[in-house]
Amino acid sequence: MEEVYRSGDTIYINKPKANKLAYTEYNEELFKLLKSYTWSINGDYLRSGKLNKYLHRYVMEFYYGEESIKEADERGFVVDHIDNNGFNCRISNLCFIPNDLNKAKGLTFDKRRREMVDDLTLTFYKDFKTGQFQITISFNKEFVYVHEGKVIQVDRAYYLYENDFELVLNDASKILQQVQKNGEFDETKLSHQKMLYVPSTYIELKESEKEGSIIERNGKHYLILNDKVRLGKTPLNLDIFNNTDVE
């Protein structure tokens, strides 16, 4: 298998000897550039010796321009991997933030997020086209949302924000803190501009299905959440960026 290859809308850089796979969104020009260099593992990141650049910084330079990298360096900013995975170099997972905030995020938010996967999986992204952020949540335990006086149990939720990393991080941290302490969070205390939720699906299980993790109904497959099965990261919901009917 080639070191740099495309699969669907993703570019992968494969390092099989180290059992590592780095990736970013597919862009034809970027794909050609990445294929023209050799990438090696340097700590928790990929780096090109010929370029003398890390992959995540090269991706940011490609999208935002060389001047943006220089300005970030001059201001003491770093390129943060929002999900704390140095091999996830999707542009939606990268953001310029102050070095002090990057360190604080790793010691507080990222640590708490890892501790709470039994309750929920929370992450956030930055949309390159709009500059907006989106928090996405997958609930691994029962979570109730009250909407117009109706109580609705939900599986996933999406919160849209303008271009303010610190505000988004504060809200994401607030959600984790409140769920850890109270088992729920107060949505009215958040600073989002829009939100979407996906209601839970209730299905009566046959006796033969109760020990499994996936069932099929009318051609659709459903994941059964239990003590051993958890939802992973929820990707961006693109509808929320342009849907004016979203609250």
pLDDT digits (tens, 9 = 90+) for 114-162: 999 888 999 999 999 999 999 999 998 888 877 677 888 888 999 999 9
Residue 137 covered by a domain: yes
Mean pLDDT score of the chain, rounded to an integer? 88
Q: Which two tokens stand for residue 40?
A: 């090696």
Question: Does 216 fall in a domain?
Answer: no
What's this model's pTM, rounded to 2 decimal places? 0.86
| List of residues 6+ apart from 122 with CB closer than 8 A | 113, 116, 135, 136, 137, 138, 172, 175, 176
pLDDT digits (tens, 9 = 90+) for 224-245: 665 565 556 788 888 888 765 5
Do residue 159 and residue 84 come from a single domain? no
Residue 84 in any domain: the answer is: yes
> Which string of b and e fits 89-118 if b means at least 16 CB within 10 Å?
bbbbbbbbbbeeebeebeeebeebbeebee
Q: Which of 62, 89, 106 is the last residue of a domain?
A: 106
Residue 46: give the domain boundaries. 4-106
Question: What is the average per-residue pLDDT within 71-85?
Answer: 96
Q: 181 CB contacts (<8 Å, ≥6 apart)?
A: none
193 found inside a domain: yes
- Rounded CA gap, 94 and 113, in Å? 18
